[in-house]
Structure formats: structure tokens, C-alpha cells
């Protein structure tokens, strides 16, 4: 597995303050009055205080950015998988995956632009709302469902997992967990239950709830039928089969036709 990662925030070089050396005076011949001496000391103390304050601000900013970098993660990887449950080297394929993890906001996004036989999609896993959003990049619509923590690992664990894979300490479990889901029609009218991040990502798109189809959650080799989405998010390769995608497309065609009639 090939992983390339980079932090979200770029480093900025710390600029050293400029120190201006004043011209030296003849100490023996100079005559300094107490008032001038006191005034000069005041300026020196003020300058020292300003320099100390500026170093403190720069130091705090640097520390904050260092911490911020450790709580955010972005990268891409090649994920291997076996076709129809066959994990032999001869039958393995790979798909590309781009991911972004934010520990502070407690969410992760996974973009799968291409998967053999599947639909291009972007997954949003919101651990605060305990919801998963799927942006269908082909149909320009969204699907939402409860987040499955048995398959999707939390942001902190995801970063740790990627670091272990990068160091060669962890091998991906290429077993495929498949879930058969049906789309609940019509789309949602209230986006509050899906969480802020998913609502923002799906703004302007028809958003449908996914419900289990016969409550099937299994991990075995079965034939691939219909439309599906797939991703790797820490445990196994998760495949979500949508059994009634054709019904969704028919519904949207009817809605668009009705809207066109109203406009005429």
C-alpha cells in the first residue's frame, strides 16, 4: 500500500527581529545628566519589553500551529482489494482514495473518485452527529445513514492507523463488509439531524436517508448487483449496495417534469 500524507497547515519561517546597533560614544569624554540617563534607561526597558512580548506572541503562534498540524491530516493512498472476495495476488486490484481527518472537529472525509464497478463518491463521517453522508458524484445527490463505528474508526485512530501503515507495521484487512440499503423516498426536508458538516456539504442537493434492506450486515463473497459505493475507513473495505437506485432516478425525473410543467 502506498500512502502519501501531508499536514493541512504549511510551516512559516520565524523571522528574527532586527537589532539596530547604536554608534558607540566616548564614555570618558561624555557627560550624562541624571535626567538623560533615566530617559535612556526607560527607552531600553520599553524596547526590551516589546521584544519579549513579540517573542512570546511568535512562540505561542508556533506552538499552536504545531499542535494544529498534529490534529489534522490529509493524504491519499492505494487500497488493494480482491474481486468477489478472492484475495489472491492474481485477482487483486487497487483503488485510489483521498482522505482528510480533523481530530479537533471530530470528523473525517474520504473521497473515492474511481472504484471498479462502483460509483464515484465522497464520504463524510461526522462523529459528533454520529452520521455518515455519501455524496453521489455521478447523480449530484446525497445519501445519509447512521455512522457504523464497527467499520469506521474515529479520527484519532485513523491518523494512528495511517502512520502505522506508512511505517509498515500494519496490513490492511482486505475483507469486504457489504451492507444492502434502500433509499427512503422522498428526500429529507429537515437537515438538522444529519449534523452541520454533512448539511453544509449537501447544501443544494437532494438528500435521502438510507435504511437497512432486510437488516443484512454480512462479510462474505456474493455477486455484485445494482449500484454501490465503497470505501476503506480503518477496519475493512465497506461496500454499500443501494437496491433501489433506479427508483430514485425515476422519482427525480418525475419531479423535474412536474417542475417544468409549472414553469410553463
Which of 14-18, 114-118, 133-137, 198-202 comes out lowest in average pLDDT?
14-18
Across 233-256, average pLDDT: 90
Residues 139-148: pLDDT tens digits?
A: 999 999 999 9
pLDDT at position 50 = 64
Across 165-169, average pLDDT: 67
User: 65: pLDDT confidence band, cut at 50, 70 and 90?
Assistant: very low
Alpha carbon distance, N-terminus to C-terminus of the chain:
55
| 49 or 59, which is more confident | 49
pLDDT at position 262 = 85
Residues 24-43: pLDDT tens digits?
A: 444 444 444 555 555 566 67
pLDDT at position 185 = 96
Which of 89-98, 205-214, 236-245 comes out lowest in average pLDDT?
89-98
pLDDT at position 28 = 45
For the chain, percent of residues with pLDDT exceeding 90: 35
Amino acid at each position: 500500500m502506498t500512502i502519501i500524507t501531508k499536514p493541512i497547515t504549511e510551516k512559516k519561517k520565524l523571522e528574527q527581529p532586527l537589532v539596530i546597533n547604536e554608534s558607540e560614544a566616548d564614555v570618558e569624554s561624555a557627560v550624562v545628566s541624571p535626567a538623560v540617563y533615566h530617559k535612556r534607561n526607560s527607552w531600553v526597558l520599553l524596547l526590551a519589553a516589546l521584544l519579549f512580548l513579540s517573542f512570546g506572541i511568535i512562540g505561542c503562534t508556533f506552538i499552536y500551529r504545531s499542535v494544529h498540524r498534529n490534529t489534522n491530516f490529509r493524504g491519499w493512498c492505494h487500497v488493494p482489494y480482491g474481486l468477489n472476495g478472492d484475495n489472491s495476488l492474481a485477482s487483486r486490484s487497487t483503488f485510489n482514495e483521498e482522505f482528510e481527518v480533523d481530530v479537533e472537529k471530530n470528523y473525517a472525509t474520504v473521497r473515492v473518485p474511481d472504484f471498479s464497478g462502483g460509483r464515484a463518491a465522497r464520504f463524510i463521517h461526522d462523529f459528533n452527529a454520529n452520521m455518515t453522508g455519501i455524496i453521489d458524484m455521478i447523480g449530484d445527490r446525497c445519501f445519509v445513514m447512521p455512522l457504523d463505528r464497527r467499520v469506521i474508526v474515529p479520527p484519532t485512530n485513523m491518523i494512528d492507523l495511517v502512520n502505522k501503515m506508512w511505517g509498515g507495521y500494519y496490513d490492511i484487512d482486505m475483507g469486504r463488509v457489504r451492507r444492502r440499503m434502500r433509499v427512503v423516498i422522498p428526500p429529507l426536508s429537515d437537515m438538522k439531524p444529519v449534523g452541520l458538516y454533512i448539511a453544509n456539504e449537501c447544501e443544494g442537493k437532494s438528500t435521502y436517508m438510507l435504511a437497512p434492506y432486510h437488516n443484512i450486515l454480512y462479510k462474505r463473497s456474493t455477486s455484485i448487483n445494482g449500484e454501490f459505493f465503497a470505501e476503506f475507513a480503518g477496519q475493512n473495505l465497506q461496500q454499500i449496495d443501494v437496491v433501489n437506485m433506479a427508483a430514485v432516478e425515476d422519482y427525480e425525473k418525475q419531479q423535474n417534469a412536474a417542475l417544468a410543467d409549472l414553469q410553463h
